[in-house]
Amino acid sequence: MTSGINTREMILEILLQINEEGEHSHIAIRNALSKYQFLPKQERAFITRVCEGTLEYRILIDYIIDSFSKITVDKMKPPIREILRSAVYQLKFMDRVPDSAVCNEAVKLAQRKGFYNLKPFVNGVLRTIARQMDELEYPSRKVNLVRYLSVRYSMPEPLVLRWLNDYGEEVTEKMLADFLEEKPITVRCRTYLNSVEETCESLRNQGVKVEPAPYLPYAFRISDYNHILALDAFIEGKIVAQDVSSMLVSEIANPQKGDYIIDMCAAPGGKSIHLGDKMEGFGTVDARDVSRYKVELIQENIHRTDSINVQAHVQDATVFDVESECKADIVLADVPCSGYGVIGKKPEIKYRSTAQKEEELVILQRNILDKAAEYVKPRGVLIFSTCTIAKEENEENMMWFMNNHPFKLESIDEFVPDELKSETTSLGYLQLLPGVHGTDGFFMAKFRRK
């Protein structure tokens, strides 16, 4: 059954929003799909897959197009560029759409968007690609490893080079491959209110496939559903969408009933709500973020989960809040970061990174850590975390913090599963790597105030 909505046109609009207007991919896709709630599951899945896939494989796709087109991708008009990219994604990765249909739809769409003159160009390039793609030569691994990995896994060369230096060839390739793997979403079952069995049963009753996620008994991977917002377990606040890496932050924080916790960068509130759950309704989690919009996201989640011990308000973490000085048992600084650890979920991140942005982030992170240090009670805890794998933002910030504040690292071995224990966890920090640990890329360190 089809809805009569032009799915190719929707895909084009979404890709233009992401690649030309700088919108986040998950937001652009969600906004477009929520406008057409009645779209059948299959069409929603098709739109999502083509948008995500076209973005994930952009460097590989552009390499293919540039090998067959006289006009290079960067010289094309944006709508033509995105029409070609999404068509090549379908030709290369989606067997279920016949090649001729992919070409015809692309040509029709170019015409509908006013590019009547470019119909033969779109048609010619796509039909040549469909015929000759399998014979195309890719960069050689032996001749140029960085270029090979960049094209093979669609990762900009500067990032590949950096990770080769930081993590070596084997780990880098595992991470690159993992970023491209389609994975089910991970949820945390809120065991404080419902048993894991009850929640999983509710999900299964609605046809959802539920599989255990690694490391934590209350973490599950869910798939085979149309919309998470329509799941009873979600509506009733029995589950929170959260990666296992993010759940481990609240584990290592180990809050006690009655603690006062400040979460300085809290939106959308995943960790705040988990910390509140771990205190079983006692104590207070002061969930802060920089804008009203972000705080509203936290509030929506507080409301849905009925988290009575979590409160949200606007507070810029770079501005010192004198009222909070030496007040908190635990401060969580889950700082804004380059996000390289979640490229698998937000592929646009890889195309937007620049050295300058990263330097600015390190300055912002240190600024936030300076304030965070002041809010911790004597002998209280500070947790520093990021969803990146950049050493400058992680280990280097951690060392800088220890050298500039009266804190020491504290072992997290008691709180992490055996498989994750290492020399670094006994010192007090953990770097999770995608494709290596089965989670997002994530960093966490636990400090105690002297």
Binding site for ligand SAM (CB under 6 A): 246, 264-271, 289-290, 294, 316-318, 334, 336, 387
217 marked as binding residue: no
387 catalytic per annotation: yes
Alpha helices in 279-394 (DSSP H): 292-305, 348-352, 355-375
Contact status, residue 211 vs residue 221, Cβ threshold 8 Å: yes
Contact 189, 239 (CB under 8 A): yes
- Helices 395-404 & 355-375 angle (0-180, nearest 10): 40
CB of 419 to ligand SAM, least distance (A): 23
Structure tokens at 224: 């085979």
Beta carbon of residue 207, minimum distance to ligand SAM (angstroms, whole number): 28
> For residues 145 and 185, which CB has a smaller minimum distance to ligand SAM in the complex?
185
**Partners of 287 in beta bridges:** 263, 312
On whether 267 is known to bind a ligand per the annotation, the reply is yes
Among the listed residues 51, 200, 337, 387, the single catalytic one is 387
From the number of C-beta atoms within 10 Å of its C-beta (0-12, 13-18, 19+), residue 119 rates as middle
Q: Would you mind telling me the total number of residues written for the chain in this entry? A: 450
The bridge status of strand 284-289 relative to strand 310-314 is parallel
- Helices 25-35 + 41-56 axis angle, to 10: 160
φ, ψ for residue 160, nearest 5 deg = -60, -50
Q: State which residue, 52 or 289, has the beta carbon closest to ligand SAM.
A: 289
> Is 263 known to sit in a ligand binding site?
no
Is the Cβ of residue 93 or residue 415 nearer to ligand SAM in the bound state?
A: 415
Q: Residue 139 and residue 66: Cα distance in Å, rounded?
A: 13
**Residue 241 CB, nearest approach to ligand SAM (Å):** 10
Looking at the DSSP assignment, which residues form a beta bridge with residue 262? Answer: 286, 331
Closer CB to ligand SAM, 150 or 246, in the complex: 246
Residue 51 CB, shortest distance to ligand SAM, in Å, is: 23
Binding region for S-adenosyl-L-methionine: 265-271, 289, 316, 334
Which positions are catalytic? 387
